[in-house]
Chains A and B, each alone.
Chain A
Amino acid sequence: MSILGPLLFAAMLVLPAWFASLDSSQEVRLAVLDPDGVFGNALVDTESIRFESMQGMDEAALRFGYRDMGYQAYLIPDGQEGVRVVSHSPVTMDVRNHVDHCLRGWLQQQFLASRQIEGLPEIIREMDGIRVKMTTVVVSDEGVERESSSEMTMLLSVVFSMMVYLFVMIYGAQVMRGVMEEKTSRIVEVIVSSVRPFELMMGKIVGIALVALTQVGIWIVLTALLVSSLGLVAGSGAISSSGVPAQVEMVTELQGSGAFEAQMAAVVAKVDWGSMGWSVAAFVYFFLGGYLLYAGLFAAVGSAIDAETDSQQFVLPIMIPLILSIYVAMSAYRDPMGDLAFWFSMIPFTSPVVMMARFPFQIPLWEIVLSMGVLAVSFVGMTWFAGRVYRTGILMYGKKVSYREMWRWFREAGR
């Protein structure tokens, strides 16, 4: 997984581009039957769509033969401003949109021409050239201005919160499976005759945390390496601009591969490496805090059940706050200062994910510190709770466990 993970990550970023480039190699040929020249020269070929005029043929013959001639569909004028696209199988959206685009432009031109306004084409050309120049600037309390990149902020927000969510889930479940394995293989009784049950549980949790950190580290480094090396390839044109990940909406608007690289370079240039360092530190804290909180729960559940199949009823309630937090995080990307985002970044069960979604937006320090504090207190409490359930659970076999039963273990463990 440690090697495969980054590969998958990089693939997720790059594959769509590759697929897009594959598609364009497939050419679509369309026959055009326009004896009266209604379309003028409005229909322009693209890389993937080619129009061919069928002058002198009659429609019946074309309808009968267009497929044998290698056309996917044929076009004929339909009334004043219409066109009919005829085919046996429906044409793609790409074809539809392109035909629509060409003809609309043509019709608009004709419409304007019919009004006979002096110098209109020049006016329109000039109007098309108007662009808004926008710079987003972040001001610190000391009044220092710094150019920011809202794209980069958004990207960090999405990536960090997603990573916390994924890793807490993956490694939390791993704790549960580990505890369960020790219980079902009965090795646990030998081990707890040498070490305290709490030590065994903490050993498992801390051990997996270290594995997780190592793996996260490898992932981050390898993903960065892979993406940047692929980024270089992109410069040679193998990857077109359409190939950016769908979830990173901001980049999709860019057109032309040269512009994409330039824009990327601009975004990277605007990265504040200092705050990036803080983001990574916060990520490590919230990931570990969230992991420790949930690992305790997962360990308690793992100790209570005899078989993986029994885990469902206990795992679902654990997953619900995690899943909820990713939904809240999605709204926090857009409104990081909103009440929803604020409160859910304080509640310890959702704060790791939601806080990481808010963090890149430079929220007030006290909020971060408070959230960290609440999380720390919670995971200590959770570990204590889990330790007591665990102590009884691991030696309990063949019993159908309920929440009530677990609560009883917790209470009685104190005696």
Chain B
Amino acid sequence: MDFLEIAQVTKQYGSYKALDSVSITVCENQIYGLLGPNGAGKTTLIRIINQITRPDMGEVRLQGKPMTRDDISLVGYLPEERGLYKKMKVGEQALYLAQLKGMSRRDALRELKFWFEKFEIQPWWDKKVEELSKGMQQKVQFVTTVLHRPRLLIFDEPFSGFDPINANLLKNEIQELKHQGATILFSTHHMASVEELCDDIALMNRSQVILSGGVDEIRRQYQSGRMRLTYSGDVDLASVLPLGCSLLSDAPSRQLRVAEIQSANGLDVNAMLRVLLPVMSIHGVHEVLPSMNEIFIRLVKQSGE
């Protein structure tokens, strides 16, 4: 079911078009990745979804209805540039932010207790934010983002600025939140996390969406006939490959050898095996899907040309 729909959204800043007729659809209970180089328009789009900025044209729909400011309590937002009131105490501030999202004081206290225990940060309750390290502040900020159990979570570059331990914690929490039924939209440069977490993605460049869809489909779609072969036998692999195919790498691995082959002319794994089986003993073969990183770089370069 379509949970969040962004339809033909355009935003202009002076002579600069930050978003040019952008449309994406996020299904319910999905993790959706918003990818793109700096300045592609991701943050502007996220601010429009959060009702911070108004689009010049187009519409944001939540569960089929145009989104209004009243829907904002359904959303949890972790901006790219994170910060809290420095002079305020951690607990006080978390309570305040929760109440801004419409929680009652009692609910907020109960939920905060749960999260503070979960993250083992109870001792910080009465500390001022400025006494905390940056990583600690990010934990607190994450808690305040998810506290009101929003149905839609928006993270702008969640992995930037987090140390590896917190980034991993965050990754687990994102999966946990999905498990509990939330829909998650996040923007990132961090491609490994995209393959690991995202169901669907949209790739933005120069204010436009240049690619969108399921991660697996996209990788299959962009697969370019690369395969990895595990074999044994004293063969000069390069000389037996069909015409046009090339050997990308060939290295010994324990008693066997592992080679990466770039096929050509639409030759698939079966065809390749037919050629190679007679001359060597094959222990395994599989297609290598391009990483999101490769697809990202390729597409951004293409659309830039």
Binding site for B on A (CB under 8 A): 181-182, 184-187, 189-197, 395, 397, 408, 412, 415
Contact = CB atoms under 8 A, between A and B. Distances in A.
Interface in B49-103: 50-54, 56, 69, 72-73, 75, 77, 79, 81-86, 97, 100-101
Contacts of A192: 52
A185 B69 contact: no
Contact of B86 (A185, A194, A395): A185
Contact of A193 (B51, B84, B85): B51
B228 interface: no
A197 B97 CA distance: 15
Contact of A185 (B51, B56, B83): B83
Contacts of A196: 69
Given A193-B72, A194-B72, A186 B81 contact: yes
B244 interface: no
A194 B100 contact: yes
A112 B52 CA distance: 91
Residue among B47, B53, B81, B141 with the highest chain A CB neighbour number at 10 A: B81
Given A193-B51, A193-B72, A194-B72, A186 B83 contact: yes
B241 to A, nearest CB: 53
Contact of A190 (B14, B86, B144): B144
A284 B175 CA distance: 56
Interface residues of B, number: 26
A182 B84 CA distance: 8
Nearest to B129: A185
Contact of A415 (B47, B56, B145): B56
19 contacts: A181-B86, A184-B83, A185-B83, A185-B86, A187-B83, A187-B84, A189-B77, A189-B79, A190-B141, A190-B145, A191-B100, A193-B50, A193-B77, A194-B73, A194-B100, A195-B100, A397-B81, A408-B14, A415-B56
B97 A190 contact: yes
Contacts of B69: 196
B77 A190 contact: yes
Contacts of A190: 77, 79, 83, 97, 141, 144-145
Contacts of A408: 14
A413 to B, nearest CB: 10
Contact of A194 (B56, B81, B83, B101): B101
Contacts of B75: 193
A395 B52 contact: yes
B78 to A, nearest CB: 8
A405 B14 CA distance: 10
B256 to A, nearest CB: 53
Nearest to B130: A185
A122 B72 CA distance: 94
A185 B145 CA distance: 17
Contacts of A193: 50-52, 72, 75, 77, 79
Contacts of A415: 54, 56
A46 to B, nearest CB: 57
Contacts of B52: 189, 192-193, 197, 395
A202 to B, nearest CB: 15
A188 to B, nearest CB: 8
A194 B70 CA distance: 9
A406 to B, nearest CB: 13
A331 to B, nearest CB: 43
A86 B94 CA distance: 77
Nearest to B51: A193
Contacts of A197: 52
A208 to B, nearest CB: 15
Interface string B24-58: 00000000000000000000000100111110100
A182 B97 CA distance: 14
Given A193-B72, A196-B69, A197-B52, 14 more contacts: A181-B85, A181-B86, A187-B83, A189-B52, A190-B145, A191-B100, A192-B52, A194-B97, A194-B100, A194-B101, A195-B100, A395-B47, A397-B81, A412-B14
A297 B81 CA distance: 26
A181 B86 CA distance: 9
B146 to A, nearest CB: 13
Contacts of B83: 184-187, 190
Contacts of B101: 194
A184 B83 CA distance: 8
A199 B75 CA distance: 19
Contacts of A186: 79, 81-83
A189 B100 contact: no
List the 6 closest A-B pairs by CB distance, nearest first.
A186-B83, A185-B83, A189-B79, A194-B100, A186-B81, A193-B77
Residue among A187, A397, A415 with the highest chain B CB neighbour number at 10 A: A187
A272 B69 CA distance: 54
Contacts of B84: 185, 187
